[in-house]
Amino acid sequence: MEDIVYTLTVTAHVLENKIEIFLQKTLECALATRRENGNVRYDILQNEDDTSCFVIYEVYRTKEDFLHHRKTPHSIKWKSEIESIMTKSRERVRCHSIYFSD
């Protein structure tokens, strides 16, 4: 059965003095990702209690759309640019949607 919606959350812990750079680079990636045919949503969320912790919520029409996204220049660039400003490795959770509202 083909996925109706494929989602991904990425938790990123950023060096306190690099938050603005992280946000700039992540917003650039988000805007480029939103132009991809298979992308449905790309949200950047900041933790209320720990402002150096961010959650990125990505939604794709299919898992194949997500796999295509990973190969795009903007995705590759984002990963390489933010790696050195993280306090630890990104945490990723990939999901198949059970219920997805508009």
Q: Which domains does the chain have, with CATH numbers?
A: 6-95 (3.30.70.100)
3-state secondary structure of 93: strand
Angstrom distance (rounded) from CA 23 to CA 4: 30
pLDDT tops 80 at residue 90: yes
Name which of 1-5, 15-19, 26-30, 69-73 the model is least confident about. 1-5
Mean pLDDT of 84-92: 95
Could you report the per-residue pLDDT of 17-58, keeping only the tens digit for each? 999 999 999 999 999 999 999 999 999 999 999 999 999 999
Write down the pLDDT at residue 99: 76
Q: What DSSP string describes 15-83? A: -GGGHHHHHHHHHHHHHHHHTSTTEEEEEEEE-SS-TTEEEEEEEESSHHHHHHHHTSHHHHHHHHHHG
